């Protein structure tokens, strides 16, 4: 059975016409797969490589450069919460916010809660320094957050 969904294949096909090289579709392909499955498996890497006429090693080379992508050994939870730790957020409590969430959820950055709901990540500057400390949930920014705000937004206050 194919690891790539029909939607993922369709998205990859759509992107092929936009670039003069097939390799340029590597990031769009990795994005669509991770968005659907929470990780990019070895099988998915190999199927992407087939479509783009590359070796799986080339796809893996790109994938592993960007800390963004997860392998099947280490998949994402349902929500991915990034807490910014760069200077403007650090100056306004970003480190304390991250530590508080780690303690409330009993995980370290990079890990997922036991119920598989939330993966907590450290982010470098999220580009929302006017609202420090800030967080990114999946790809949506929220400015000026407290630990209670984060819990309410990602865990429904539970």
The whole-angstrom distance between residue 75's C-alpha and the CA centroid of its chain comes to 10
- Single out the segment in contact with other proteins by CB under 8 A; choices: 36-44, 70-78, 135-143, 150-158: 135-143
Coil, strand or helix at 94:
helix
Q: Which of 5, 9, 16, 28 binds other proteins (CB under 8 A)?
A: 28
54 and 22 Cβ atoms separated by less than 8 Å: yes
Q: Which of residues 74-103 bind other proteins (CB under 8 A)?
A: 82, 85-88, 90-92, 95-96, 98-100, 102
What span, in angstroms and rounded, lies between the C-alpha atoms of 37 and 40?
A: 7
Q: At its nearest, how many Å lie between other proteins and the CB of residue 6? A: 21
The verdict on 53 binding other proteins (CB under 8 A) reads: no
The whole-angstrom distance between residue 45's C-alpha and the CA centroid of its chain comes to 17
Complex with other proteins: residue 1 or 107, whichever CB lies closer: 107
Residues 6+ apart with CB under 8 A from 152: none
Q: Which of 4, 11, 12, 25 binds other proteins (CB under 8 A)?
A: 25
Peptide bond between residue 133 and the one before it cis (omega within 30 degrees of 0) = yes
Paired strand residues for 95: none
Q: Which of 16, 39, 51, 129 binds other proteins (CB under 8 A)?
A: 129
141 and 128 Cβ atoms separated by less than 8 Å: yes
The verdict on 73 binding other proteins (CB under 8 A) reads: no
In the complex, the residues that contact other proteins under the rule CB under 8 A are 18-21, 23-28, 30-31, 52, 61-62, 65-69, 82, 85-88, 90-92, 95-96, 98-100, 102, 108-110, 122-132, 136, 138-141
């Amino acid at each position: 059975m194919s690891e790539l969904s029909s939607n993922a294949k369709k998205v990859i096909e759509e992107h092929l016409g936009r670039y003069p090289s097939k390799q340029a579709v590597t990031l769009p392909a990795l994005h669509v797969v991770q968005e659907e499955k929470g990780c990019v498996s070895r099988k998915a890497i190999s199927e992407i490589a087939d479509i783009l006429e590359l070796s799986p090693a080339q796809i893996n080379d790109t994938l592993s450069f960007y800390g963004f992508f997860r392998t099947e050994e280490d998949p994402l939870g349902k929500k991915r919460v990034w807490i910014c730790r760069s200077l403007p957020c650090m100056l306004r409590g970003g480190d304390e916010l991250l530590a508080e969430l780690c303690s409330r959820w009993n995980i370290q950055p990079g890990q997922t809660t036991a119920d598989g709901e939330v993966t907590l990540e450290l982010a470098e500057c999220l580009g929302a320094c006017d609202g420090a400390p800030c967080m990114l949930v999946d790809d949506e920014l929220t400015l000026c957050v407290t630990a209670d705000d984060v819990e309410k937004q990602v865990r429904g206050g539970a």
